[in-house]
Amino acid sequence: MSNKKLEKFETINFFGLYTWLIVITVCLSFYFLRPELFEPQRLRAFFDANLLPGLTIYFIISTLRGFTLIPSTPIVLAGILVFPPLPLFLVNQLAVYSSSAIVYYMASYLRFDRFFHEHYDRQVKQLTRLLHKKEMPVIAAWGFTPFVPSDLIVYVCGVLRISVVKTLIGISIGEGVICAIYIFGGSYSLDAMIDYFAI
């Protein structure tokens, strides 16, 4: 790859990371300066009135996550606070496809290969062996497993030239199940807490 193309993809990677940092900084600033804006009922009322724009922003942020390798769990948990569970689940599934496609097609360009081999070399080798035996069950099981980077198996699938369709379907099945537990279970628990404490 030419230096110009490499620099271009690195710029995209940094853009995604800096966008993340800006979003976090802005949210933290508002939280400390105007904490009343973050009351659960107020947040839900605002996003209920602006559901489509809110879900669009959620989708964009979740997709940009693919450029940064930041875990998706914090985004999902934040979404539970403000969105109805079913629309959140559907949009989150679309974001799984988009962010995973970024990792699948751009891993080497964005230097993800170096990151994965430096930090998860043992897991990369283990996944490579497992995927040679069973592809779809391994992809889905890894996507379902909490506290492991789902982007890692997408990267390994790309290296092994496993079909992108099979990769995206497998990861969406695994993440779909675990995210459904997070979203619907978390939303039910949050509603119960709000009713109990009359927040």
| DSSP letters spanning 130-180 | HHHH-SHHHHHHHHHSTTS-HHHHHHHHHHTT--HHHHHHHHHHHHHHHHH
Residue 161 pLDDT > 90, yes or no?
no
HEC-encoded secondary structure of 51-99: HHHHHHHHHHHHHHHHHCCCCCHHHHHHHHHHCCHHHHHHHHHHHHHHH
Prediction pTM value: 0.74
Q: Which H/E stretch holds residue 12?
A: helix 3-33
Under the banding of pLDDT at 50, 70 and 90, the label for residue 19 is low
Residue 168 pLDDT > 70, yes or no?
yes
The pLDDT assigned to 14 comes to 58
Q: In this predicted structure, which of 86-100, 102-116, 140-154 has the lowest mean pLDDT? A: 102-116
The pLDDT assigned to 85 comes to 93
What residue ranges do the domains of the chain occupy?
A: 3-197
The pLDDT assigned to 91 comes to 96
